[in-house]
Amino acid sequence: MELVGHYRNGNYTVRLYDDGTKVRETDGDSFIPEFPESMDLKITDRCDMGCPFCHENSTPTGDHGDILDLPFLETLHPYTEIAIGGGNPLSHPDLVPFLEKLKSLNLIPNITVNQKHFLENLPLLHDLTDRKLIYGLGVSYVTNGREEALRKAMQEFPNAVLHVIAGIVDPDDLQSLAGHVLKLLVLGYKPFRRGSTLYNILGGTINSYVDALKDVLPEILRDHWFKAVSFDNLAIRQLDVKSLMTDEQWERFYMGDDGQYTMYIDAVRGEYAASSTSTTRYPLEPDIRTMFQTVRSSSEKPSTTGRRQQ
Ligand code: SF4
């Protein structure tokens, strides 16, 4: 793997590699950042998928964010990872100039698209990848019987990661995608906005899918169904991922609570917060460090104490 960049953040250094690996090293006993290492950035509320669990409440007529005029963009530290999402980010008319701007600032954009939009836009996504306008490519899985086409298309993108939601994905479908070639990110179920409405109606079914995934998780990891498996913090809690690791592995791999090294920005509403499900939100400000310290001081303290993490 090749080094993409490295930088100092507070009392530690970060090295980023082209396969998505991140290594932090500190001289002290903890990692105390001055600015976010990464952020989730919602650029649009528009999406034609109508998923009943959508925690962003995206709709086919949703608004786009004014992404070419974000007040804090120039204050981001080079190599900050920007996870661009929506809505359907490919629907934003300013997406390409925005990515060009991020590249000119030496930022690391990743993008997440729904599986349907992914398969419909392969030439565009190849172009964005080839021009290094995006690094990571998240593809949100939807069961629709097109698993073979999905697997084939994803293998064309070395940095593609399949996203699935605990409580929505059926482990049997996951098994049909297994085969050591894809990378997997498991997201927790977000009972927020439409996700809350659906949970009130189908909470029992959602919980049973979470339990089914939890049961099969040791097998997924042991038998290497996927090339790599990662989890967001919500999935770590919902699936009790910590119980599958030794204390040493946990210290090494856990990247910190939401809001400690990461933050969320909603460019449509002009708000920032610790995560996309935070109810405490603040209006955007011109300086990223100010926003980050607000988020960091209002969220939980980090539990990590190791000298090196990856
Ligand atoms: S594809 Fe994503 S953004 Fe679109 S409706 Fe579904 S969950 Fe929401």
- How high is the pLDDT of residue 304? 40
What is the number of the ligand 1 atom nearest to the C-alpha of 117? 1
- How high is the pLDDT of residue 300? 53
What is the Cα–Cα distance from 218 to 124, expressed in whole angstroms?
37
Measured by CA distance, the residue closest to atom 7 of ligand 1 is: 54
Measured by CA distance, the residue closest to atom 8 of ligand 1 is: 54
Cβ 79 vs Cβ 103: under 8 Å = no
Q: How far is the CA of 54 from the centre of ligand 1 (A)?
A: 5
Cis-peptide into 179, omega within 30 deg? no
What is the Cα–Cα distance from 274 to 262, expressed in whole angstroms?
7
- How high is the pLDDT of residue 306? 43
Tokens of 107: 């930022």
Task: Going from the first residue of the chain to its last (310 residues), give the mean pLDDT of each consecutive group of 10, the final group possibly shorter.
Answer: 93 92 90 96 98 97 98 97 97 98 97 97 98 96 85 94 96 88 96 97 97 97 95 96 93 88 97 95 97 89 45
- CA dist list (Å): 211 to 50, 141, 164, 216, 225: 25, 19, 15, 9, 18
- CA dist list (Å): 83 to 40, 98, 135, 278: 5, 13, 10, 17
Q: How far is the CA of 282 from the centre of ligand 1 (A)?
A: 24
